[in-house]
Amino acid sequence: MFIVIVLKINNNNHAQDAGANIETETTDSLTVNAKTMLIVKAFEFGKFDAITNYFDQTMKKALPAKRLQAVWKQLNAANGKFVKAQTEDYEITLVGEYQTVEIPFSFQKEVRLLRLVFNQRGEISGLFFQ
């Protein structure tokens, strides 16, 4: 039996200066909220190695930084240049031991939803753009 809980987060500028510290903020003590904001900033600054620091071992093998960068380039080619992540309001859904975060990413032509799945250790075990 799974219990699903959805939390609506109102986030006002919590990670404005995160771009400078993306590489160093990889501690396990960070909350899912903080990790999510750092990942968003890493996408904005093209710091794909920083994003993969949060991956579990399976994700690190399946989606290394260079491949993640290629996916990002494909998203920008297909949807227009990245404009911004809509971090003011996003949702965290709890399903069993997993936390799923969904954040709208605006591109010039379309809005795509970034879905991050965090395991019980706070590592990313899934990353999807829909």
Provide the CATH number for the domain around residue 61: 3.10.450.590
Domain residues for the domain of 24 are: 4-129
52 within 8 A of 61, measured Cβ to Cβ? no
Q: Domain tally for the chain?
A: 1
pTM comes to 0.77
pLDDT by position in tens, the chain (length 130): 333 333 344 444 444 444 444 443 444 568 899 999 999 999 999 999 999 999 999 999 999 999 999 999 999 999 999 999 998 878 889 988 999 999 999 999 999 999 999 999 999 999 999 9
Q: What span, in angstroms and rounded, lies between the C-alpha atoms of 83 and 95?
A: 30
